[in-house]
Copies of this chain bind each other. A is one copy, B any other.
Amino acid sequence: MSLTFSLLGTSGRARRGRLHTAHGTAETPAFMPVGTAAAIKALASDQVRATGAEVVLANTYHLMLRPGAARIARLGGLHRFMDWPGPILTDSGGFQVFSLAQLREIDERGVTFRSHIDGAKEDLTPERAVALQRELDATITMVLDECTTWPVEEAEAAASMRRSMRWAERSKAAFAARPGYGLFGIVQGSVWRDLREESAAALTRIGFEGYAVGGLAVGEGTARMVAAAGYATACLPADRPRYFMGIGRPEDIVAAVALGADMFDCVVPTRSGRTGQAFTRRGTVNMRNARHRDDPRPIDADCACPACRTYGRAYIHHLVRSEEILGLTLLSLHNVHYYQDLMRDIRVAIEADRYDDFQRDFAAQQALGDIEPV
C-alpha cells in the first residue's frame, strides 16, 4: 500500500495527523528542513534529527546536476547517501529550473534548460522528473509543474495551470506505486479562486497520495496568499496530507495551519542563521548587533537546542563577527530547532482543540520583542 495519512484530530480547520511511509512515520503539522544538495546547510543529519525533524526535503534540480541521480542510485539512494533513514520529499526540479537555470524553454512536452553549474543542456519532462526522483529513492515524489510568477494575467495563469494539470496526469502515469511511497500533485492557479478550485478538482480526479499548494508567496502579498491557499485547501480531500510549498516564516506557518495545511518547507531557518538572524519566542534577533557582546544569556532561555544550552549570546555574537563557521552552524541549528519546537507546540494545541488560543498567544508573544539588554 502506498504512503498513507491518518487524520488524528482537528481544531477548527487545523489538522493533527500522521504520515505512514516506507521510511517511518511523521507527525503533522510537520516542517521539513531543506537539504538542497543532500545536506541541510551547515548541519549534519544527526544534528537535524536531534531537533525533532522527521522529514527532510531535497532538491532534484541540484542533485540531477551534481552528483547526478544515477550516481546516488548506485550509492544506494539518498537515504543512505546523506544518512537520513527517515522520509525524504524531493521536489520535481521544476521550481529551480524556472528560478536558477539559464536559457530555459518550456513547451507542452516539458522544459529544456542549461545547467547553472556548467552550462550543459538538460531537459525535464513530467516523466523524467518522476524517474529522477525514483533514482533518488524519494519517499514522496512531486509532480513537475510550472509555478507562475507574480504579477500574472489571469489568462496566462489559467493556461499555465491547465498545462501543469496535464503534466500531473502524465506524472501519475509514469509513477510506479511502491509500498510506503507516494506521489503528490500540486495545485496552481495563482490568486484566482476559480482557477485554484479547478486545479484542485483536476488533481483530485487524477488521485494522489497527497496534495501540495504551489505558487504561494511569490510576491502576491499575505492577504492574497492566504485567500488563494484557502480556496485550494477547501477543495482537497480531507483524508490526504496537504503540503504548502515554500512556506514559510513562523507566522506564515501558524496562519497556514489554521487553513488546514499539514506540511511545510522553507530555507528561512538555515538561510537566516547564516546571516546572523535567530528566531526566538519573542521574534527574530540579529546576533550581529553590538548589544549582545556582553550578554551571557542564551539566545532564547526557553530553547533546549545545543547552542542555547551551551553558549551565551556574547559568544554567538563573537563567532558571527569573527566569521567563524561555528557561528553559522550554531545559528542554523538553533533556528531548525526553533521551527521543530513551534511545530510540536502547534500539534499539542490542535490535540487540545485550542488552536485559536495558540494563534493569539503566539502573536502576542512574538510582539513582545527581544529581552532587554543586560
Q: Which residues from chain A sit less than 8 Å from chain B, CB to CB?
A: 37-39, 41-46, 62, 66-67, 71, 74-76, 81-83, 293-294, 296, 306, 310-312, 314-315, 317-319, 321-322, 324-326, 328-330
Contact = CB atoms under 8 A, between A and B. Distances in A.
A75 B314 contact: yes
A38 B67 CA distance: 35
Contacts of A62: 322
Given A41-B326, A71-B293, A315-B38, A46 B321 contact: no
B71 A315 contact: no
A61 to B, nearest CB: 13
Contacts of A318: 37-38, 66-67, 81
A46 B329 contact: no
Contact of A83 (B44, B46, B310): B310
A294 B74 contact: yes
Copies of this chain, whole number: 2
A328 B12 CA distance: 46
A160 B203 CA distance: 81
Given A44-B310, A71-B294, 9 more contacts: A43-B326, A62-B322, A67-B314, A67-B317, A74-B294, A75-B314, A76-B296, A81-B318, A325-B328
A162 B175 CA distance: 79
Contacts of A83: 310-311, 315
B42 A329 contact: yes
Nearest to A295: B75
Given A39-B319, A311-B83, A318-B66, A326 B44 contact: yes
B44 A322 contact: no
A41 B74 contact: no
B294 A46 contact: no
**7 closest residue pairs by CB, A with B:** A42-B325, A37-B322, A67-B318, A39-B326, A39-B324, A83-B310, A75-B314
Given A67-B293, A318-B67, A44 B330 contact: yes
B325 A325 contact: yes
Contacts of A39: 319, 322, 324, 326
Nearest to A76: B296
A199 to B, nearest CB: 34
16 contacts: A37-B318, A38-B318, A39-B324, A39-B326, A42-B329, A44-B306, A45-B310, A46-B306, A46-B310, A66-B322, A67-B314, A67-B317, A75-B314, A81-B312, A81-B315, A83-B315
A321 to B, nearest CB: 7
Contacts of A43: 326
| Residue in A67, A74, A293 with the greatest tally of chain B CB atoms within 10 Å | A67
A38 B324 CA distance: 10
A329 B321 contact: no
Nearest to A41: B325
A42 B311 CA distance: 15
Contacts of A315: 38, 75, 81-83
A267 to B, nearest CB: 14
A313 to B, nearest CB: 10
Contacts of A314: 67, 71, 75, 81
Nearest to A321: B66
A45 to B, nearest CB: 7
Nearest to A311: B83
A83 B315 CA distance: 10
